[in-house]
Amino acid sequence: MPEPFARTTSRVISIARANIDTDQICPARFLKITDKDGLADALFFDWRFTPDGKRREPVSFIDEPHNAGRQILLVGDNFGAGSSREHAPWALRAWGVRAIVSTGFADIFKGNALKNALLPIIVSAERYAALQALVAAHPDGEWTVDLETEKVTQPDGQTFDFEIDPFARTMILAGTDEIGYVQTRLPAIEAWEATHPTRVETREGVAAK
């Protein structure tokens, strides 16, 4: 079960590029695991290592010592495009990321992130540009992301509001997940199902091995 999460204070890592797909966040060859172990090492792997396995020179931002432990990313539009792999938010969380600020997220990634208490924070294009400038001016400034008040406090003391789906917000603040919620509503689901017959029976028709 996840831990409740309300806020974090951290420095920011800026990745000023758009359309970062989940194949970049966690390449497919790391999807052969049957648990969630080792994914921190898979994060942005091909940006960090050459195809023959050598660490790139200069090292990727992820491997710069001063970025270790930073929990907030500032990234370009449409972050998390592509594959539905939840390994992408798992890898980000395993590395330590708790919040990602962007002008937009791919739908499946956003849903997966929320289920892992990784906050997708959407800002306008104007604010995004201003935040990039601020990070460039104060690369080691501390930011606070507060889910309870839905506010980000910038290193210059200014704040801005953000919105997280209210249902997901409740779940993350409480450290619960949706399965428990739906289970308490099973009687209503069963009543609905009683008047809506199932459409297929996968165990008939052809013999599956």
Q: Does 85 bind another protein (CB under 8 A)?
A: yes
Let me know the angle formed at the C-alpha of 15 by 13 and 21, rounded to the nearest 5 degrees: 125
Which part of the chain contacts another protein (CB under 8 A), choosing from 7-15, 60-68, 109-117, 156-164? 109-117
Q: How far apart are alpha carbons 78 and 32 in whole angstroms?
A: 26
Integer angstrom CA distances of residue 162 from 25, 49, 141, 156, 198: 24, 35, 20, 18, 41
Nearer to another protein, 3 or 202 (CB): 202
As measured in angstroms, the least distance from the Cβ of 26 to another protein is 11
Cis peptide leading into 139, omega within 30 of 0? no
Nearer to another protein, 34 or 57 (CB): 34
Q: How far apart are alpha carbons 4 and 148 in whole angstroms?
A: 11
Q: Does 67 bind another protein (CB under 8 A)?
A: no
Is 135 within 8 Å of 12 (Cβ atoms)?
yes
Is 126 within 8 Å of 118 (Cβ atoms)?
no
Interface residue with another protein, options 104, 131, 134, 143 (CB under 8 A)? 104
Nearer to another protein, 68 or 181 (CB): 181
Q: Tell me the pairing of strands 151-153 and 143-146.
A: antiparallel
As measured in angstroms, the least distance from the Cβ of 161 to another protein is 18
Which part of the chain contacts another protein (CB under 8 A), choosing from 4-12, 55-63, 148-156, 191-199? 191-199
Q: How far apart are alpha carbons 25 and 67 in whole angstroms?
A: 17
Q: Does 194 bind another protein (CB under 8 A)?
A: no
Interface residue with another protein, options 10, 23, 63, 146 (CB under 8 A)? 23
Phi/psi for 180 (5° steps) reads -60, -40
Interface residue with another protein, options 26, 43, 81, 117 (CB under 8 A)? 81
List contacts with another protein (CB under 8 A).
Answer: 17-19, 21, 23-24, 27-29, 31-36, 46, 51-52, 77-78, 81-86, 89, 104-108, 111-112, 115-116, 165-167, 177-179, 181-183, 185-186, 188-189, 192-193, 196, 198-206, 208-209
